[in-house]
Amino acid sequence: MIGRLGFPERNHSPAENPSGRLLIPVSVTPAPHRPCSRSSPQADIDTLWNRLTADGGAEVACGWLKDKFCMSWQIVPSELNAWLDSGTPDQIERMFAALFRMTKVDTAALQQAFDGD
């Protein structure tokens, strides 16, 4: 989940809501989430990245971006879990050091950092 929705604890009275419309205040806030897009190979990452940043989206850092609606996404390679599960502390540290220097994820560069090349 990328955000958390907030709903009112009580209904609004007609005096508070003269339009008669149902009012549901919603706020989207950063919250712990599960990755919603795992992608590989690099061409898939590039396609998702380009589509989500088009028409007013923005690149952030470490595989994060905001789409034109200001929703945050993190595009990560499918190999990430395997690296985290199988890597030594040194391999994982090198991989994250490379990731922290990136905006859009470069899977080959992360693999090279993981391998120590």
DSSP string, 74-110: E-EETHHHHHHHH--HHHHHHHHHHHHT-SS--HHHH
Q: Indicate whether 117 pLDDT > 60.
A: yes
Query: Can you tell me which residue has the tokens 């391999």?
Result: 91
Is 15 within a domain? no
pLDDT tens per residue, range 72-110 = 999 888 888 899 999 999 999 999 999 999 999 999 999
pLDDT tens per residue, range 29-71 = 554 444 544 555 888 899 999 999 999 999 999 999 999 999 9
Structural domain boundaries, residue 86: 38-115
CATH code for the domain in which residue 89 is found: 3.10.180.10
The conformation of residue 33, written as its DSSP 8-state character, comes to -
Is 80 within a domain? yes
Total structural domains within the chain = 1
27: closest CA among 8, 11, 52, 53?
A: 8
pLDDT at 5: 39
CA 116 to chain centre: 27
pLDDT at 1: 36
CA 77 to chain centre: 12
